[in-house]
Structure 1
Amino acid sequence: MKTKYNRREAIQLSVLAGLGLSLSGYSSAFNKLEKIQERPIPSSGELLPIVGLGTWQSFDVGNSKEQRDVLTEVLMEMNRLGGKMIDSSPMYGSSERVVGDLTAQLDFGNALFYATKVWTSGQTAGIRQMQDSMEKMQRRTMDLMQIHNLVDWKTHVKTLKGWREEGKIRYWGITHYVDSTHATLENIIKTERPDFVQFNYSIRSRNTEKSLFDTAEKYGVATIINQPYEGGSLFRAVKGKSLPEWAKENDIHSWGQYFLKFILSHKNVTCVIPGTSKPHHMIDNMTAGLGKMPDNDFRNKMAHHLKSL
C-alpha cells in the first residue's frame, strides 16, 4: 500500500475515509466516483451536472498567486468529478477575472459551463457591463447570463433575449436570494419564459416548495439553487453534533452532503452552486451528487432531525 501522498491524493483519501471506503482500495474506489448525476436543461435538453460552484467571496482573491493556486485545485477537483457550472457576477469583486484567468490555463476550460450576471440599471450600462464580464471571464459566448437580483429586469430582458437570438449567450435567466421575491420570480417565469431561474432553497428555508418549483417545472425553466448552507448558519447549527448513523443509508457522510442531498433530492432542482475556496470542500460538495438520493419520507426525517438538534 502506498504510504506517501501528494496534497490532492491526501484530500481524496480523507473523503474516501468519510465514505467508509478502504484506503487499500483507494485508486479503484475513487475511480468509481468519477462522475456526478446530470439533469436536463428543459429549454434545450442539454445535460447539466447537478453540483456546480459559486464564486461569491471565495474567488475574490485579486492577484494573490498563493490563493489562485489553491483555486486552480478547486477547479480541477470539480472537473475531475464531473462538475461544470461556475456562477459569478460583477458584484463579486475580482471573481470574474480570477475565473477567466484560471480557466484559460486549464485544458478543460472550454468544457465548463460559465454563468454570470448583469447588475446595473439602464440598457447601455447593462450592455457595457455584460461585455466587460465576458472579457474578464474570457468568453466569446457566455453560457448563461442572468439578471442579478432582478435589478432593472424589464430593461435587461429585452437585451438578453436579443443576445440569445444572436448567439452571444446560450441561455438567459433571473436571480434572487430572498423569499419575498419568489412571487415576482414566478410572474417573470410566466410572462418572459427565461431558460433559468436562480433562488434560495435549503433544508430550513423551503418557501420555494409552495409554488415556485411547480411554476418552474410547468413552464420548463431550469433551477439553480443558491444559499444552500444559509450563509454558513446550517454548519453553526450542527457544530459539535454527530451525523446520524442512518444518514449513510443515502450515501451521506458529512453535514455538507446532508444539506446538499436534501436539496438535490428535490426533483425540480437542476443544479446547486455552493461556494468554496478549499479543494477538500469541493470534493465533499461534488460527492453529494453521487450515490443514492433521499426519497420524500427520508427528506422529512432529515428535516425533523435537524430541527430537533
Structure 2
Amino acid sequence: MYEAAENRYDHMKYRRAGRSGVLLPEVSLGLWQNFGLEKPLEEQRQILLRAFDLGITHFDLANNYGAPARGKAEENFGKVLASDLKPYREQLFISTKAGYDFWPGPYGNWGSRKYLMSSLDASLKRMGLDYVDIFYHHRPDPDTPLEETMGALSDMVRQGKALYVGISNYQADEAERAIGILKENGTPCLLNQPRYNMFERWCENGLLQVLDREGTGCICYSPLAQGALTGRYLNGIPEGSRASRANTTVGGRYLTPGNLEKIRALNDLAKERGQSLAQLALSWVLRRKEVTSVLIGASSTAQLEDNIRALDGPVFAEEELAAIDSILASMEQQG
C-alpha cells in the first residue's frame, strides 16, 4: 500500500493564487499528455505518486485529455486516486475543464450552461470525486453570452461540485470581463490558465497586469513549448519523433529553423547558469510575480525530478534576462 513521503512538503515552494487563501506548488503536474493510452497505467501511477512525494499537490486535467480516447486521463487519474491517493484527498488540489469539442451534437462544445454542467458531472464520475477544487472554462466562446458561461461556473460552486472556478486561454479584455461577472456573482475567479513560454509571450501584453490588478492568480501551461525548450531538439528533429509528424503542436508551432537556432543559444546560456534548458525555461516563466505556478507534463519520474530542480536555480540577473531577450529578438529578425 502506498504511503506518501513524510518530507513531501519540506522542499517544494508554494505561491498564493492571487488574493485568495489558496497556495499552489510552483510546479504543478498537467495530465494533458502521457496519461491516456500512451503508456501503461502502472507507469502513470509511478509519475503521479512521485509527484505527490515531491510536494506537488496540484493535478490539472480536462474532459478531453487522453486523446484520442478523450476522458481517459480522468479515468486513469481516478483509478490511481482510488488505489493510492484517496487517503490524501484533502491534501490534493484537483482541476478539470470543459470548452473544447467532446460529445457529438450541439451540446458538446464551447460554453453553454448545458455543456459545462453536463461535462462537470461526467468528469466527477470518471474520477470518482464528489467535487473538484477548481473548474475552468477552457476557452472563450464567441457566441454564447459570457453571462451564461460565468453563471454556470458560479452555480457549480453553489452546488458544491467545485470549490473554485477559473478561465483558460482568455486574453486580457476577455479575462477582465469574465472576472467582473464572476465577482458580481459572488464567485471570484481564482485562476486564469494561459499558454506562456519564451516563444509565446502574448500574456505580457496586458493579461498579467489585469490578473494582478484583479487579484486573480495565473497558472501557465506549455512553459516548455511542448518540449521544444528541452534538450531533445538541440541536434534537430529526430526522425520518427512526435515533432517530425505533420500537424503536431511542437513541430508546426515551435520548431522552425529560426527557433532551433534560438534553442541552441538558450541552451548555452542555461549551461552558464548550471541549469538544463528545461530548467532555464521554467525558471524564466516563474520569474514573473504574477505567476502562481507552471504546469508541466512528465513522461517519466526522471523527467519530473529534473524539471522540479528548476526551483533550486539561481535568481536571474538583469543581464541574463536581457541576454534572453536579445537571443529571441535577434533570431526573429533573422527569420
TM range (shorter): 0.7 to 0.9
Instruction: Tell me the equivalent position of 2:306.
Output: 284
2:127 maps to which of 119, 137, 147: 137
Secondary structure of residue in 1 paired with 2:194: strand
Distance 2:230 2:311 in 1: 19
Instruction: Tell me the equivalent position of 1:82.
Output: 55
| Compared CA separation, residues 255 and 91, structure 1 to 2 (3 A) | same
Instruction: Tell me the equivalent position of 1:22.
Output: none
The runs of 5 or more residues in structure 1 that have no matched partner are: 1-30
Distance 2:270 2:191 in 1: 35
Instruction: Tell me the equivalent position of 2:149.
Output: 156
Instruction: Tell me the equivalent position of 1:126.
Output: 116
Secondary structure of residue in 1 paired with 2:97: strand
1:117 maps to which of 83, 97, 100: 97
Deviates more, 1:87-96 or 1:217-226: 87-96
| Compared CA separation, residues 80 and 248, structure 1 to 2 (3 A) | farther
CA RMSD for the aligned pairs? Answer: 2.8
Give runs of aligned pairs for residues 31-42 of structure 1, distance below 5 A.
34-42=10-18
Instruction: Tell me the equivalent position of 1:255.
Output: 277
More RCO (CA 8 Å, sep 6+): 1
Distance 2:126 2:9 in 1: 33
Pairwise CA distance, 1:296: 4.4
What is the TM-score with the length of structure 1 in the denominator?
0.78
The answer to whether 1:58 aligns with 2:72 is no
Pairwise CA distance, 1:232: 2.9
Distance 1:45 1:106 in 2: 27
Report the AA paired with residue 199 of structure 2: R
1:146–1:173 CA contact under 8 A, matched in 2: yes
Pairwise CA distance, 1:68: 1.2
Secondary structure of residue in 2 paired with 1:134: helix
Distance 1:118 1:298 in 2: 39
The answer to whether 1:173 aligns with 2:166 is yes
Instruction: Tell me the equivalent position of 2:45.
Output: 72
What is the TM-score with the length of structure 2 in the denominator?
0.72
Deviation digits for residues 160-192 of structure 1 (CA, Å, limit 9, x no counterpart): 212223432111001118xxx443223323443
The number of residues matched between the two structures is 271
